[in-house]
Amino acid sequence: MDFLPFTRPTIDDEVIRLVTEVLRSGWITTGPKVNEFEKSLAAYVSSDTGKVPYVKVFTSATGALETALQVMGIGEGDEVIVPAMTFTASANVVALVGAKPVLVDVDLKTRNLTIEGVKKAITSRTKCIMPVHFAGLPVDMDPLYELAKQHNIRVLEDAAHAIGTRYKNRKIGSFGDMISFSFHPNKNMTTIEGGALVLWKEAEAQQVDLLRFHGLQKDAFGNMDVLMPARKFNMPDVSAAVGIAQLKRLDEFCSKRLKLVDTYYQLLNHPLLNLPERGDDGHCWHIFSPLINFTQLGMTRPQFIQKMADEKIGIGVHYQALTTFTAYKDMGYSCPQAERIGRETVTLPLFPAMTKVDVERVCQTVLRYLN
């Protein structure tokens, strides 16, 4: 029996054809494919509303987040509200621009921050709220944007998990302030490594162009000027070619994930399991991560992961709470829900090439050990 990983990207013949085309062209860094990919992404996210945003692609979603904070003017002395249950990049970029990540607890079922938690965390120094659409389940954005408007606070959506997700029949990225997507290999679509930033103001889009490539500006004759010190986050055409092919199948990938998750919900029922919030059909299902009460089970998570590996089933962990990391644990934040999720979470296999039989195998194995 083959090993079943917790995730695997779908690399089809069209991806290979487009990458080969780029390699043979002799132009493999940022060029025509990046331009095409950005236009395709803008068309995709705006297909529900018709309002076309600016889309800028990056070598990573982390780079997109950091650049977005810089464009927002966030730095020393400022505070950014970040959920304690997220990948560490969400808080790291805040610290890297010199601001303070203010960690707030999340809901146990949705794994998302709550409007009540955000309200309590706002101070006179709060300049931005960074909601994370955990696992692709959208945060309730309407009240969050209303709250941000009341306090004159920017919103940077960490939508690393949420490419393809809809909130109230609108794609994430089709509305709002700034939105960052990830195209890491374990996401719903990939560019090998990469990310994108969606924004709406032309002046801010122009600033992004500077900040993602050395602060460098050229005129029509090739004369250069550096307007500010900046990093290098430009995506190469090879990655963009992968993204162009992947984007064409994104909705198909999300639909397959939804069907697989339906089977998980049908088969996984046990008192030691706490399943994540299901949401509606707009949920793109980047990961499926139930909680297991390992104390009652009498087994540690590493032991459980090893037993599943012995059965040739891969298990991931998404994620430890930020409050448990050395970089953030001494900041004084108490986030018991996030910390419980961090202790109990396991990520079960979920990717488009899986079959219903694969899900049944996972569920049978999990339930056997829980029993």
DSSP state letter for 30:
S
Helix (H) or strand (E) holding 273: strand 273-274
Question: Known catalytic residue: 187?
Answer: yes
- Cβ neighbors of 246 (< 8 A, separation 6 or more) are 10, 15, 183, 189, 190, 191, 253
Of residues 56, 127, 171, 187, which has the active-site annotation? 187
Q: Is 119 helix (H, G, I), strand (E, B) or coil?
A: helix
> N- to C-terminal Cα distance for the chain?
23
Exposure of 269 by Cβ count < 10 A (0-12 exposed, 13-18 middle, 19+ buried)? Answer: exposed
CA 202 – CA 142 distance, rounded (Å): 24
Tokens representing 35? 């331009």
Query: Do residues 86 and 158 touch, judged by C-beta distance below 8 A?
Result: yes
Helices 250-267, 237-248: crossing angle, 10 deg rounding? 60
Concatenated DSSP letters for 284-299?
--S-B--EE-HHHHT-
Residue (of 195, 194, 151, 201) closest to 176 by Cα position: 201
User: Quick one: three-class SS letters along 204-268?
Assistant: HHHHHHHHCECCEEECCCCCEEECCCCCECCCCHHHHHHHHHHHHCHHHHHHHHHHHHHHHHHHC
Q: Quick one: residue 68, left, alpha or beta (phi over 0 = left, psi -120 to 50 = alpha)?
A: alpha
DSSP state letter for 76:
T
Q: Please provide residue 179's backbone torsions phi and psi, each rounded to the nearest 5 degrees.
A: -135, 130
Q: Are strands 291-292 and 273-274 parallel, antiparallel or unpaired?
A: antiparallel
| Catalytic center residues | 187
